Amino acid sequence: MKKFLRASLIVLLASSIGTSWAATKVKPSAQTPGKAAPAASSVSVARDPYLGAIAVDAADGRVLFEDNADAKGYPASTLKLMDLLIILEKIESGALKLSDKVTATADAAKVGGTQVWLRDNEVFSVDELLYAMMVQSANDAATALAIHIAGSKEAFVELMNQRAKALGMDSTIFQSVHGLPPSAGQAHDVATPRDFARLCLELLKHKDTLRYTSAVERQFRVVPETIIRNHNHLLENYRGSKPHNFKGCDGLKTGYIKAGGYCIATTAKVGEHRVVVVIFGSLTSEGRDAKTRELMSKSLADIGAWRAKHPVAQAPAPALAINVAAGARPGPTPQAPIPPQPMPAAPPMQEQSKPSGGMNGATIAIIALSGAVVVLLAILFVTRRPRDQGNGF
């Protein structure tokens, strides 16, 4: 009996050990049987205060601040800045006009997320759809523009990736024209704060960029009435809920998806100084905006201090041209202009003998002296000669 109990105890112990080992190797699924496991995108990369951030001087691209600026995150709707760049470049090249009419397709009309509720075959101008895309962050407007320009969403995404590569956005891969979370089997749009700072600097070269990004509110459709409103609470003229107005802020774009957190690419100009700040992956919009304000304030102050120490960097072109013409060498440490020096006195020029039809003073003096000598000799000769006999004079 004791042997039987001992054997039973050994079997039970072995069974429990095997069960616990198996549990450590394969964790039981928390999903209800029959349902697929959640996609990896459901795990947020957002951090407190952010996943990564960067601030740059818009004048020369000089990095003023960076913290994990090469962290790969999900740009969400800030991605529409690339849409804007491609469209503005096509307009400036003459391939597209702001007045061109765009007909919304069924594909554009069914896009979800933030939208202006485009209907199949509804027609708007490129200009109106750009406002809808940049102010309202309308995904259907972005889709309609992409299809109109490239023929399909996929073809436009290819344009986006080509432009990103040309700009040196080496860590960026676009998968969509709007930045929405990917569907099953699709991948996320991926970028870094540093890459998006490059994109922002390129956009600021185009005069129409800030016209779209600084608009706070605008009527998009009359019937039914549709008012579009900006989501960037930092805009100087923002008057919506939870305003965090920053003086001089006139762009650029916000974004949010659950997996990526709150993102922003913004710019502000105070006096002659402009800064660009990009933040990816904040846990809250309030935290993102607070950090953005902090970075813009400090960066603008840093730009001012740097310019004060390097005045040549902000000198107007005519002044620089004058310095170069005066002999100064342009550069980070300019030399003081050299005052003009008086020309040295020229040595007296030697007279060279040259044929002449007249006599100069020296010749006349010699002739006069010779004549005097002849006269003197003649007088001496006469006085010493015997006198004649006969009549005198």
What amino acid positions are annotated as catalytic residues? 77, 80, 137
Nearest Cα neighbor of 190 from 78, 87, 289, 42 is: 78
C-alpha span between 324 and 315 (Å, rounded): 13
C-alpha span between 44 and 73 (Å, rounded): 10
Q: How many residues does the chain have?
A: 393
Which residues are registered as beta bridge partners of 52? 280
Q: Strand 249-257 to strand 63-67: parallel, antiparallel, or no bridges (unpaired)?
A: unpaired
Conformational region of residue 151, where left means phi above 0, alpha means psi within -120 to 50, and beta covers everything else: left
